[in-house]
Structure 1
Amino acid sequence: MHTKNRSLEGLRGAAALLVVFFHLGQVLHLPGVVRNGYLAVDLFFVLSGFVVCSAYGERLETGRHAWHFLVRRFGRLWPLHIATTVLFYVVGSLPLILTHSGFFAPTGAETLSIVTMTQGLNIVSHSFGNANAWSTSDEFYVYLLFASICLIARRRVQVGFAFVSATIGLAIAIYIDAGTCVSNGHCMDLTSNFGWARCISGFFTGVVIALFRQRLT
């Protein structure tokens, strides 16, 4: 039976509030309200890697275990992802429907990307639907990568892979965002455009911490 780490739950709650206040500041045009709150998303990625590795790292021993893990992750992410996307298009369509101007709908390529949760992987070059769902997309595919590594590699190799992945992800994010970061000081705010690099870096940083914690204990 799994028990919750209350300190981590509290940290996740604080991070969630920071993200909410950040978006609230954007909507109300109040840039001074938690200006860098978007960075709490990176904290979520680190916590996710730490928790997932701690809970499942030693249990993903066979394809059956990995399949069950991915099904559970998919079951937690996909329904909410679809529900929020549908809500986005319904609300966006209301003004058009009321004025008999048609309705607001994704293109075929966008629909396919939404259904497969690939909208955060730079397959489509622009943001669409629920713009914040890029993190859901990226995290699911990082789960897939994590499960694959647990299946094919021994623990020592897993540590090395996690460290290299975290480093490469961070390097890509810094390279892509360097110009924006220098010009306006708004750094690492990559979403559907290379947000996957942030996700890989944060998630596998959490995995490295979890693996070293296990070794120390």
Structure 2
Amino acid sequence: MSTQPLSTKPHYLVLDGLRGIAALIVVIFHILEAYSTSHLDLMINHGYLAVDFFFLLSGYVIGYAYDDRWEKLTIGTFFKRRLERLQPMVIMGTIIGAVCFYFGDSPVFPAIHTVPVGKLLLVALIGLTLIPIPVSMDIRGWQEMHPLDGPAWSLFFEYVANILYALGIRKLPKTALSILVAISGIALIHYTVFGPTGDVIGGWSVTPEQLRIGFTRLMFPFFGGLLLSRVTTPTRIHNAFLWCGVLLTIVLAIPRIGGADHLWMNGIYESVVIMLVFPLIVYLGASGQVNGAKESRICKFLADLSYPIYITHYPFIYIYTGWVAKYKGPDFPMTLGVAYGILTFIVSVAVGYLSLKYYDEPVRAWLKKKIKA
């Protein structure tokens, strides 16, 4: 295989913008999650499905970007490119999480009081690599594989999907890939419709049940997106960013369906969204053209912000959730809670943007030079 430099393909700017919309919805979902009592009364109830949208979008973009390049691309170069794109912000998210953990001491999380600095540093060091930690090493009490930066669990599964793609699945013909996607779809429907919760919430712990959820959430969306990139050809659709953005927002904001007595109803909804609506949105987005310089700037801003804000916002959610839990009750100061929530959102956006401009972009530019050298 040749190791000549690969030309950069044009980006699907509408898809980039949709990724940013989904990331902002995740932040708002996590802020409002502090006021819920269970998975049955979440506000922006299906905001967690943004992760499944990310997986499908990632599979589609990986197929578009790399499927026809393997005559010039080595597996090592592919992995270097993915690490260059993803790992710098994993490191930043972990560092922010460690700082917030140390200075955000809260009686709401009793385990924090008992964590020696040495153990915190060990967990942070492991977090920098994105290697998941077992439940026995949890320092927060939420059983997360990345307790300093919860959303990093989805990046772990993203890496798994990239490894599977590079080592073999990229070679599958369309028929074999379709069979894999069909089997993954059956597994997804089985879990959402017949499972114990009627949803796909989970995947962030190193336990058999949580790992099952994580792989169930990963396999159909990612490889379904890969298949979609191979079997469809984008057309021209006007106002795609507007309509896809509205549709994405609606399906993520739909209230819980069926309640505690009919969990299967919500499972059907989530299966339909992941298996039909998300692929439709991605196809329409790939077919869309931005309308003018203003929409182009909006899409680019949302695209640039999407990954940094997703991977750095959750340490501030820990702090906000702890504050709400501490004062929650009949006399809860809702006006102050709303103000604090808005501040948390603003801080999350600001930290994500500053991390992008003053850390992520310079580091990735330096890594690109090193890789080419």
1:33 equivalent in alignment to 2:43: yes
User: How many positions carry a matched residue from both structures?
Assistant: 200
5+ residue gaps, structure 1, are 182-186
Q: How much does 1:173 deviate?
A: 4.5
- Please, which of 59, 64, 69 is the counterpart of residue 59 of structure 1? 69
Instruction: Show CA shifts across 1:159-198 (max 9, x none).
Output: 23433333344444455551111xxxxx111222231321
**1:171-186 aligned within 5 A:** 171-176=186-191, 178-181=195-198
Aligned to 1:162: 177
Offset of 1:200 from its aligned partner?
1.9
TM-score (ref. length: structure 1): 0.77
Query: Which one of the candidate residues 29, 38, 43 is aligned to 1:22?
Result: 29
* Distance (Å, rounded) in 2 between the aligned partners of 1:117 and 1:142: 14
Match status 1:77 vs 2:78: no
Distance 1:107 1:174 in 2: 40
User: Are positions 1:143 and 2:152 aligned together?
Assistant: no
1:114 corresponding residue in structure 2: 127
The residue number in structure 2 matching 1:184 is: none
What CA distance in whole angstroms lies between the structure 1 residues aligned with 2:77 and 2:14?
27
Taking the aligned partners of 2:201 and 2:134, their CA distance within structure 1 comes to 18
Larger RCO, structure (CA 8 Å, separation 6 or more): 2
Shifted more, 164-173 versus 4-13: the winner is 164-173
- In 2, Cα distance between the equivalents of 1:124 and 1:162? 32
Please give the root-mean-square deviation of Cα atoms over the aligned residues, in Å: 3.2
Q: How far apart are the structure 2 equivalents of 1:143 and 1:202?
A: 13
State the distance in 1 between where 2:124 and 2:175 align: 37
Asked whether the equivalents of residues 64 and 229 of structure 2 are also in contact (C-alpha less than 8 Å), the reply is yes
Which letter does structure 2 place at the counterpart of 1:69?
F
* Structure 2 Cα separation of the partners of residues 2 and 44 of structure 1: 20
Rg: which structure is higher? Answer: 2
Q: Given the superposition, is the C-alpha separation of residues 102 and 116 from structure 1 closer, same or farther in structure 2, using an over 3 Å criterion? A: closer
Q: Structure 2, unaligned stretches of length 5 or more?
A: 1-7, 106-112, 136-142, 205-209, 236-373
Q: CA deviation at 1:83?
A: 1.6
The residue that corresponds to 2:59 in the other structure is 49
- Cα 1:33/1:104, change in 2 over 3 Å: farther
C-alpha distance in 2, partners of 1:124/1:176? 24
Say yes or no: does 1:91 pair with 2:100. Answer: yes
Distance in 2 of aligned mates of 1:160 and 1:74: 30
**Cα 1:158/1:24, change in 2 over 3 Å:** farther
Cα distance in 1 between the residues matched to 2:14 and 2:82: 22
TM-score of the two chains, using structure 2 as the length reference:
0.47
Counterpart in the other structure of 2:11: 4
Identity %: 27
- Alpha-carbon contact 2:101-2:148 (below 8 Å) kept: no
- Alpha-carbon separation, structure 2, partners of 1:176 and 1:107: 37
Match of 1:124 among 112, 134, 140: 134
Distance 1:10 1:180, change over 3 A: same
